[in-house]
C-alpha cells in the first residue's frame, strides 16, 4: 500500500429517496464529509437518471481537481444489478427496469464506473475496512426502509447465480393473512420489521387507543418509526410490545441464517438498528435463543456496522479492487 496514500474514489449510494456522496481513499478514510441529496424524481414517480447524472457533476469536478489519483466512481444502488454489464435490472424504489445506468454515467463523464447492489457493497466495506475484516463467514444485515443483506462466505462475497443473493427479508412469514410486500409477495418478514412496518404497527396501536404516549408523540401527524422507539424508551406498553416483536422476528431470521450457513459473525446496520442504544445487544441476546448448536451460541459475534454508511466504503473498495489497486 506504500505510495498509494493519495489514491481515492468517489463513492455514491443511491437509495430509495436519498443519495449519499463521499470521497474515500485507499486506506478506507473519508476525505471530507458525506453529502446527502434527494433523489430527483419525474412527476410520474420514476427516478430521473438524467437528474442524477447532473447531480453528480460538482462531486466529480471536486474529485478531478483534488491532488492525487482519482480512480473513478463506485456506486451502490438499492436494486438488482448485473455486475458484468452495469445494467440496473430492477430498482423497485426508483421504478427502473433494465436501465444501463453505469454506461450512461461513463458516457457522461468519461470515467470508470463500478456499480453494484448496495447491500453487496456494504458487506464488502465491512470485510475490507470494517469490523468483519479477516472474518471468513459473515452476513451483513440491514433493517431500515427494507430488511435484507448480503453474505461473505469462505472469505469472499457470495454472489449466487445473478448476484441477487441476500433477499432473506422476502421470505414469507405469513403469506395467508400478511401484508402485501413491495416485492409482490405477501407477508414477507420485511413487512413486519422494517421502519415503515414499525410505524404502521405503531399507528394501528394509536388507532385502537392502545397507546396514549404514541398518540401524544404523533400529535396531528402519523406515527413514525422513531416515535415508536421514543415511546418504548418512555415505557409505553404498546411500543414495548411492538419493538419486542420486531426483535423476536429478526432474531429468528438472523439465527436461521447462522443455522443454515454456520456463520462467524452478523454485522447489523440500517436506521432501525439505531432506534435505541441497546437494540443490537438485545437482538444479539435474543438471536442466541434460536441458534441450534452450542458452538454457535458460544462463538457467534454480533456487531454494529463500522461506518456511518458502509455502502459508500464498499463502493470505494469496489473501485480499487476492480482496478487491481488492491485485493481483499
Ligand atoms: Zn417481499
Task: Supply the CATH number for residue 298's domain.
Answer: 3.30.420.40
Of 249, 139, 256, 255, give the one whose Cα is nearest residue 187.
249
Contact between residue 178 and residue 187 where contact means Cβ atoms under 8 Å apart? yes
- Judge whether 328 lies within some domain: no
- Judge whether 327 lies within some domain: no
Q: How far is the CA of 316 from the centre of ligand 1 (A)?
A: 29
Residue with cell 453474505: 151
Q: What is the sign, positive or negative, of the torsion defined by CA atoms of 165, 310, 256, 237?
A: negative
Q: How far is the CA of 229 from the centre of ligand 1 (A)?
A: 24
Q: Do 97 and 46 reside in the same domain of the chain?
A: yes
Please work out, in degrees rounded to the nearest 5, the angle formed at the alpha carbon of residue 63 by the alpha carbons of 58 and 64: 95
- Judge whether 206 lies within some domain: yes
Q: For residue 86, what is its C-alpha cell?
A: 452495469
> Which residues have beta carbons under 5 A from ligand 1 (an ion)?
170, 181, 183, 185, 188
- Judge whether 163 lies within some domain: yes
> Which residue range is the domain that position 244 belongs to?
131-304
**pLDDT per residue as tens digits for the range 136-154:** 999 999 999 899 999 999 9
Q: Is residue 117 within a helix (H) or strand (E), and if so which, with residue range? A: strand 113-117
Q: How far is the CA of 180 from the centre of ligand 1 (A)?
A: 8
- Judge whether 234 lies within some domain: yes
Number of domains composing the chain: 2
Q: Do 158 and 210 reside in the same domain of the chain?
A: yes
Contact between residue 152 and residue 123 where contact means Cβ atoms under 8 Å apart? yes
Q: Do 175 and 278 reside in the same domain of the chain?
A: yes
- Judge whether 314 lies within some domain: yes
Q: Do 180 and 290 reside in the same domain of the chain?
A: yes
Q: Which residues contact 108 (CB under 8 A, 6 or more apart)?
A: 53
- Judge whether 1 lies within some domain: no
Q: Do 58 and 185 reside in the same domain of the chain?
A: no
ipTM for the complex shown:
0.99
**pLDDT per residue as tens digits for the range 278-300:** 999 999 999 999 999 999 999 99
Q: Do 115 and 260 reside in the same domain of the chain?
A: no
- Judge whether 298 lies within some domain: yes
Q: What number of other Cβ atoms are within 10 A of residue 36's Cβ?
A: 13
Question: In order along the chain (328 residues), what is the average pLDDT of each group of 10 residues?
Answer: 75 94 97 97 95 98 96 95 91 91 97 96 98 98 94 96 90 93 90 96 97 94 97 97 98 98 97 96 97 97 96 98 83
Amino acid at each position: 500500500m506504500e505510495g498509494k496514500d493519495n489514491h481515492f474514489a468517489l463513492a455514491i449510494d443511491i437509495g430509495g429517496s436519498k443519495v449519499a456522496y463521499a470521497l474515500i481513499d485507499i486506506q478506507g478514510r473519508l476525505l471530507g464529509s458525506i453529502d446527502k441529496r434527494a433523489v430527483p424524481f419525474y412527476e410520474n414517480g420514476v427516478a430521473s437518471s438524467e437528474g442524477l447524472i447532473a447531480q453528480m457533476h460538482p462531486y466529480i469536478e471536486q474529485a478531478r481537481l483534488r491532488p492525487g489519483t482519482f480512480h473513478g466512481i463506485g456506486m451502490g444502488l438499492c436494486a438488482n444489478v448485473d455486475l458484468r454489464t452495469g445494467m440496473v435490472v430492477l430498482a423497485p424504489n426508483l421504478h427502473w427496469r433494465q436501465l444501463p445506468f453505469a454506461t450512461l454515467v461513463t458516457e457522461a463523464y468519461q470515467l470508470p464506473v463500478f456499480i453494484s447492489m448496495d447491500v453487496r457493497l456494504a458487506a464488502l466495506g465491512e470485510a475490507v475496512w470494517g469490523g468483519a475484516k479477516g472474518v471468513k463467514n459473515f452476513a451483513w444485515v440491514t433493517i431500515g426502509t427494507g430488511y435484507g443483506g448480503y453474505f461473505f462466505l469462505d472469505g469472499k462475497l457470495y454472489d449466487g447465480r445473478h448476484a441477487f443473493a441476500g433477499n432473506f427479508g422476502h421470505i414469507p412469514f405469513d403469506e395467508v393473512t400478511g401484508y402485501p410486500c413491495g416485492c409482490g409477495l405477501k407477508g414477507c418478514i420485511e413487512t413486519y420489521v422494517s421502519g415503515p412496518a414499525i410505524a404502521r404497527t405503531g399507528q394501528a396501536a394509536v388507532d385502537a387507543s392502545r397507546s396514549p404516549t404514541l398518540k401524544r408523540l404523533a400529535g396531528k401527524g402519523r406515527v413514525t418509526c422513531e416515535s415508536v422507539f421514543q415511546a418504548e424508551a418512555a415505557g409505553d406498553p404498546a411500543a414495548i410490545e411492538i419493538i419486542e416483536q420486531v426483535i423476536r422476528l429478526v432474531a429468528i431470521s438472523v439465527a436461521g441464517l447462522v443455522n443454515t450457513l454456520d456463520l462467524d459473525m452478523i454485522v447489523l446496520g440500517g436506521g432501525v438498528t439505531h432506534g435505541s442504544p441497546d437494540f443490537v445487544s438485545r437482538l444479539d441476546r435474543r438471536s442466541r435463543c434460536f441458534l441450534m448448536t452450542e458452538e454457535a451460541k458460544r462463538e457467534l459475534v454480533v456487531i454494529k456496522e463500522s461506518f456511518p454508511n458502509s455502502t459508500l466504503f464498499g463502493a470505494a473498495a469496489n473501485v480499487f479492487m476492480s482496478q487491481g489497486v488492491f485485493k481483499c
